[in-house]
């Protein structure tokens, strides 16, 4: 048989949430235009490592396969990103896959991202419109502002910004850039702005906005190009005013 | 304010770094620069500063308490940070890590510097040109002072940049870029002042 081209993968695996991680190598037959997920699928189909030993299939998460859901994020050759949009042809080989260690590892490349969803609840990243009667249509949003807000709404809670942030770690309780930028989004919405102070106060709590150390890795890493550091700086300005209002009192309504 | 103590502490940390500590640094570098005009000139300036009225109140309110808070809380900030510079070698990430490293170096330097000059003065030594010339005659101490002064100046200049971000003064990427250039010019200019002063003592 003619020699088939293969791609070498070195995958950081972990059997249980508490067990020690270890590396395992795999040789996957090359196919044109393959992405990292297709290679992981090939390993799942035929779970044999490069030594020829049968092993357990590698666990990972995926959903949309078009870089909008954020589920398949992992560390690929040192950088956190989505494995669906990581094309093997554009990666240095051997390809190293590891879980995003900022989050608790469940198994292999699968991590528990619930801290981000908890953070969204904490900062009230929604617009309350429910009432006991029909409140009618809300205020209109200017088109230019809608276009601007759309960029912030692209966040898919993938966790790449938290993985890149040197201040999101086990020593600190920093909530990270992702929920902060959502505060900016919901406070910019004409209806959402009615509860602006609640969200600002949520991020002025311990572990909130002030813990940002301005390394600005988040904005460099965000796969959606969300201006995270601009959001953070803008919130710094708004919380400055909010802090003065809280301290001195204000008749600004 | 009970719920947001961290917010208050971080903002206070940022503010104290500029006012009064940053202002004091500028004043200290300026007064010491008299050394380039000779020993007499330096001694006159140092005596003026050393004989200011309410000296102990000024020192406590403007220098000791702010530096103590900034240093202790700064250590907490530095040691709750991790370095991921090997994976993310971006410019701002470098500044982030250098800011923390220079902060720790500056703290060590200031502790030693206060011991060697202000504490020595309290025990009867004369703080004058000769005292500094003697300290700096040792090549090790000269190197230590050089590193300490440059660390302090960098920490101040880059701290000014993050002060502007932390208080929401520079929000847009362009404003942050311009303030990067501005604060780096501040670093270079103050470094020249500091190095010229140091060299004046040898």
- d(CA B109, CA B135) in angstroms, rounded, equals 14
Strands A6-13 and A95-98: parallel
Buried b / exposed e over B183-197, threshold 16 CB at 10 Å, is beebbeebbebbeeb
Q: Cα–Cα distances in Å, from B2 out to A95, A196, A205, A219, B166?
A: 49, 20, 9, 31, 21
Nearest to A166 among B9, B84, B167 (CB): B84
- d(CA B83, CA A50) in angstroms, rounded, equals 33
CA atoms within 13 Å, Cβ hemisphere of A132: 0
Q: pLDDT tens across B10-22, in order?
A: 999 999 999 999 9
- d(CA B66, CA B77) in angstroms, rounded, equals 16
Question: A76 forms bridges with which residues in the sheet?
Answer: A79, A97
Phi first, then psi, for residue A7 (nearest 5°) are -120, 130
- B93-97, B126-130, B195-199: segment of lowest average pLDDT: B126-130
Kindly list the residues from chain A whose CB atom is less than 8 angstroms away from the CB atom of residue B80.
Answer: 167, 169, 171-172
Strands A73-76 and A79-82: antiparallel
- Return mean pLDDT, chain B: 95
Q: Does A252 touch chain B (CB under 8 A)?
A: no
- A1-5, A18-22, A82-86, A216-220: segment of lowest average pLDDT: A1-5
Does residue A97 sit in helix, strand or coil? Answer: strand
In B, residues 5-34, which contact A (CB 8 Å cutoff)?
Answer: 5-11
- Going by the DSSP 8-state scheme, the letter that residue B18 receives in this structure is H
Q: pLDDT tens across B150-172, in order?
A: 999 999 999 999 999 999 999 99
> Above 90 in pLDDT, residue A202?
yes
Comparing alpha-carbon positions, the chain A residue that sits nearest to B13 is: A210
The reported pLDDT for the residue numbered B92 is: 97
Strand (E) or helix (H) holding A167: none
ipTM computed for the complex: 0.93
> Above 70 in pLDDT, residue B1?
no
Interface test with A, best of B3, B103, B166 (most A CBs within 10 A): B166
* Domains of chain A, start order: 6-111 (3.10.20.30), 114-248 (1.10.1060.10)
pTM higher than 0.90 for the full model? yes
Q: pLDDT tens across A44-69, in order?
A: 999 999 999 999 999 999 999 999 99
Neighbours of A207 (CB within 10 A): 16
- d(CA B60, CA A18) in angstroms, rounded, equals 51
Kindly determine whether residue A210 and residue B6, on different chains, have CB atoms separated by under 8 Å. Answer: yes
> Above 90 in pLDDT, residue B115?
yes
Those residues whose C-beta lies under 8 Å from the C-beta of residue A105, and which sit 6 or more positions away, are: A14, A17, A21, A99, A111, A112
Pair of tokens at residue A210:
């002030």
> Which class for B135: exposed (0-12), middle (13-18), buried (19 or more C-beta within 10 A)?
middle
Comparing alpha-carbon positions, the chain B residue that sits nearest to A247 is: B1
Contacts of A199-202 with C-beta under 8 Å, sequence gap 24+, read A199/A123, A199/A124, A199/A125, A200/A235, A200/A238, A200/A239, A200/A242, A201/A242, A201/A246, A201/B3, A201/B4, A202/A122, A202/A123, A202/A124
Kindly list the residues from chain A whose CB atom is less than 8 angstroms away from the CB atom of residue B84.
Answer: 164, 166, 217
Comparing alpha-carbon positions, the chain A residue that sits nearest to B174 is: A230
CA dihedral over B83, A100, B4, B183, signed as positive or negative: positive
Torsion (CA) A40, A45, A51, A56 in degrees, nearest 10:
80
Helices A228-248 and A177-188 sit at what angle, rounded to 10 degrees?
70
Q: Does A223 touch chain B (CB under 8 A)?
A: no
Does residue A45 sit in helix, strand or coil? Answer: helix
> Above 70 in pLDDT, residue B43?
yes
> Above 60 in pLDDT, residue A1?
no
The reported pLDDT for the residue numbered A131 is: 82
Kindly list the residues from chain B whose CB atom is less than 8 angstroms away from the CB atom of residue A247.
Answer: 1
Pair of tokens at residue A44:
């799942």
Nearest to A216 among B79, B80, B92 (CB): B92
Pair of tokens at residue A72:
């398949």
For chains A and B, count residue pairs whose Cβ atoms are closer than 8 Å: 115
The reported pLDDT for the residue numbered B3 is: 57
Kindly determine whether residue A207 and residue B11, on different chains, have CB atoms separated by under 8 Å. Answer: no
Pair of tokens at residue B110:
């200031």
Kindly determine whether residue B168 and residue A238, on different chains, have CB atoms separated by under 8 Å. Answer: yes
Neighbours of B160 (CB within 10 A): 17
The reported pLDDT for the residue numbered A130 is: 84
Q: Does A204 touch chain B (CB under 8 A)?
A: yes
The reported pLDDT for the residue numbered A77 is: 97
- Return mean pLDDT, chain A: 95
> Which class for B167: exposed (0-12), middle (13-18), buried (19 or more C-beta within 10 A)?
middle
Residue closest to A7 by CA, chosen among A96, A109, A98, A94: A94
Contact B83, B30 (CB under 8 A): no
> Above 90 in pLDDT, residue A134?
no
* End-to-end Cα, chain A, rounded Å: 78
Comparing alpha-carbon positions, the chain B residue that sits nearest to A221 is: B88
Give me the residue spans of the domains in chain B.
5-200
For chain A, what percent of residues have pLDDT higher than 70? 98
Kindly determine whether residue A166 and residue B93, on different chains, have CB atoms separated by under 8 Å. Answer: yes
Kindly list the residues from chain B whose CB atom is less than 8 angstroms away from the CB atom of residue A236.
Answer: 165-168, 171
Q: Does A52 touch chain B (CB under 8 A)?
A: no
Pair of tokens at residue A131:
């009432």
- d(CA A109, CA A111) in angstroms, rounded, equals 6
Q: Does B165 touch chain A (CB under 8 A)?
A: yes
**How close A116 gets to chain B, by Cα (Å)?**
20
Q: Class for domain B5-200, per CATH?
A: mainly alpha
- d(CA A175, CA B15) in angstroms, rounded, equals 23
For chain B, what percent of residues have pLDDT higher than 90? 94
The reported pLDDT for the residue numbered A35 is: 96
Torsion (CA) B139, B140, B145, B147 in degrees, nearest 10:
110
């Amino acid at each position: 048989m003619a020699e088939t081209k293969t791609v070498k993968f070195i995958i950081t695996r972990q059997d249980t949430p508490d067990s020690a991680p270890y590396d395992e190598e795999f040789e996957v037959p090359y196919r044109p235009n393959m992405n990292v997920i297709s290679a992981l699928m090939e390993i799942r189909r035929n779970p044999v490592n490069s030594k020829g030993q049968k092993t357990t299939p590698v666990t990972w998460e995926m959903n949309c396969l078009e870089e909008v859901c954020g589920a398949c994020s992992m560390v690929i050759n040192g950088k956190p990103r989505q494995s669906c949009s990581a094309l093997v042809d554009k990666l240095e080989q051997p390809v190293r896959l590891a879980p995003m260690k900022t989050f608790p590892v469940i198994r292999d490349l699968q991590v528990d991202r619930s801290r981000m969803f908890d953070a969204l609840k904490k900062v009230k990243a929604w617009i309350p419109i429910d009432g006991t009667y029909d409140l009618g249509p809300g205020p209109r949003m200017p088109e230019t502002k809608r276009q601007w807000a759309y960029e912030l709404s692209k966040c898919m809670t993938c966790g790449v910004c938290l993985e890149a942030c040197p201040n999101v770690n086990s020593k600190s309780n920093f909530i990270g850039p992702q929920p902060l930028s959502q505060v900016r989004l919901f406070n910019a919405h004409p209806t959402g702005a009615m509860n602006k102070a609640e969200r600002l106060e949520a991020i002025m709590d311990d572990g909130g906005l002030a813990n940002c150390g301005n390394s600005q890795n988040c904005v460099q890493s965000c796969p959606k190009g969300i201006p995270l550091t601009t959001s953070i700086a803008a919130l710094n300005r708004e919380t400055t005013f909010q802090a003065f209002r809280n301290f001195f009192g204000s008749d600004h309504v | 304010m009970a719920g947001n103590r961290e917010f208050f502490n971080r903002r206070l940390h940022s503010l104290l770094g500029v006012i009064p500590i940053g202002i004091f640094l500028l004043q200290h570098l300026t007064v010491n620069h008299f050394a380039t005009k000779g020993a007499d000139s330096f001694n006159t300036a140092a005596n003026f500063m050393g004989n200011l009225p309410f000296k102990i109140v000024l020192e406590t309110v403007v220098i000791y308490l702010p530096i103590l808070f900034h240093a202790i809380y700064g250590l907490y900030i530095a040691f709750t940070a991790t370095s991921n510079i090997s994976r993310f070698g971006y410019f701002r990430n470098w500044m982030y890590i250098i800011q923390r490293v220079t902060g720790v170096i500056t703290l060590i330097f200031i502790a030693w510097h206060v011991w060697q000059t202000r504490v020595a003065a309290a025990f009867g030594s004369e703080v004058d040109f000769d005292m500094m010339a003697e300290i700096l005659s040792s090549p090790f101490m000269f190197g230590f002072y050089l590193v300490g002064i440059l660390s302090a100046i960098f920490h101040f200049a880059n701290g000014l940049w993050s002060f502007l971000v932390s208080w929401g003064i520079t929000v847009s990427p362009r404003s942050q870029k311009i303030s990067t250039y501005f604060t780096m010019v501040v670093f270079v200019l103050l470094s020249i002042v500091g190095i010229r002063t140091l060299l004046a003592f040898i």
